[in-house]
Amino acid sequence: MIRAMSTQWRTGMSGPTGLDYGCLSQVMDWVGVESKATVFDDIRHMESVALSVIHKRSK
């Protein structure tokens, strides 16, 4: 899922701010996710870690 969403980052003046969740449900359907709630929690965790790494590098 995180790879499927890799082009869906929202960005602002200071870089990425998070994933665009608007298409997340449709992407989950396309890749056959059965447990959407669990995968959503996993995506949010990976997003948080990725943002920490991205913003740490930019300092």
pLDDT at residue 16 in the model: 94
Q: The dihedral of CA 40, 41, 42, 43: what is its sign?
A: positive
Q: What is the pTM of this model?
A: 0.82
pLDDT averaged per 10 residues in sequence order, the chain, 59 residues: 90 93 95 96 96 85
Percent pLDDT > 70 in the chain is 97
What distance in Å separates the CA atoms of residue 58 and residue 41, rounded to the nearest whole number? 26
pLDDT at residue 59 in the model: 62
Neighbours of 28 (CB within 10 A): 19
